Amino acid sequence: MRTTKGWNRIIIEKPFGRGTRTFRCLSENLKKMFSQEEIYRIDHYIGTEVVQNMLVLRFANTVFEPIWGREHVENVQIIFQESRGTEGRGGHFDSNGVVRDVMQNHCLQILAYFAMEPPVTLSPEDVSNEKTKLLRSIEPVREEDTVYGQYVASEFGPSYRDDKTVADDSKTATFCTCALKIKNRRWDGVPFIIKAGFALNEDLVEIRMTLKKPPGTLYKDIEENQLVIRILPDENIFFQIMNKVPDLNFKLALSKLEQRYDQQFQDKRIPQPYERLILQCMQGNMTHFVREQEIDAAWKVFDKILDNESIPVVEYPRGSEGPQEAFDLAAKYGVKLHRKSEIVP
């Protein structure tokens, strides 16, 4: 109940509506009861340590800004996948699907922090304004740039439809890969591929930025440099580079410059995302909460493919890397879509 003494704060969990129209309806009704300063729209992935560090990585270091754009970047992948299925929440998930559940919120928020322009200050308004500008510059996802999938039974477990809370003929997507195009001076022409799904081969949330090969290279068969920002599991940031193998033969191999949180900060306890964000809400700090304008812009990116029955939902075995169609879509844009991640020693 709203009080006139002290302060009022309400935390709203995602998904915020089911699309642009329902979000605006929800937002207008909330504003009848609460002011904007009292509404905290929470996305717990913003509370993860690596996402909290994103702006520091980008704007407190000189080395990254010169390469952070279309002149040097070949492509960017945002990977969000879980090995577990949707059992236990099938009834909720079946009415939403993977785009509403993780892509419109978690994935686009990660993308916004990664690709936004430097804010004037670190105030909540300035950071949100830059995130919103980035989200508004993303073209709406097209049908032909979307792959939907639903997992079927395998030796790793039952199918999505085996859940008793899911309809036997459900066409809800538990997997989606789509290609995003950002139309601004920094990113125009760089494909952004988002892959998100459940009941896949591993638990992994990360960003992979692949750089262009050096022009006029002196060496054959070199691989592109990659900057990998791993959010889950085992928080890690590493830069993949080419190096000479230290032996009598002149052979090149990939190596990594990395920061592993469990090694560098082993004496620190990393706060849980909800722990951090609920504390910030109590303190009245809106820096890491999502403002209305961001959500409105994010829904517009996906409105055309939500509940679009003309996009086929292909099957993929539980525990696999997802449907082959996703890799084919990425290949259309010259992107080698992530498969199994290497084990970080």
- Catalytic sites, residue numbers: 106
State both tokens at 240.
């993949």
Beta strands in 201-326 (DSSP E): 204-211, 226-232, 236-244, 252-260, 313-317
Amino acid (1-letter code) at residue 33:
M
Beta carbons of 193 and 103 less than 8 angstroms apart: no
Amino acid at 106: H
Sign (positive or negative) of CA dihedral 301, 310, 199, 161: positive
Handedness of CA 15, 20, 24, 26 (dihedral sign): negative
Widest Cα–Cα separation across the chain? 77
Question: Is 252 exposed, middle or buried, given 0-12, 13-18 or 19+ CB atoms closer than 10 A?
Answer: middle
In a 10 Å sphere around its CB, with 0-12 CB exposed, 13-18 middle and 19+ buried, how is residue 221 labelled?
exposed
Buried-exposed string 157-185: b where 16+ CB fall within 10 A, e elsewhere: eebbbebeebeeebebbbbbbbbbbbeee
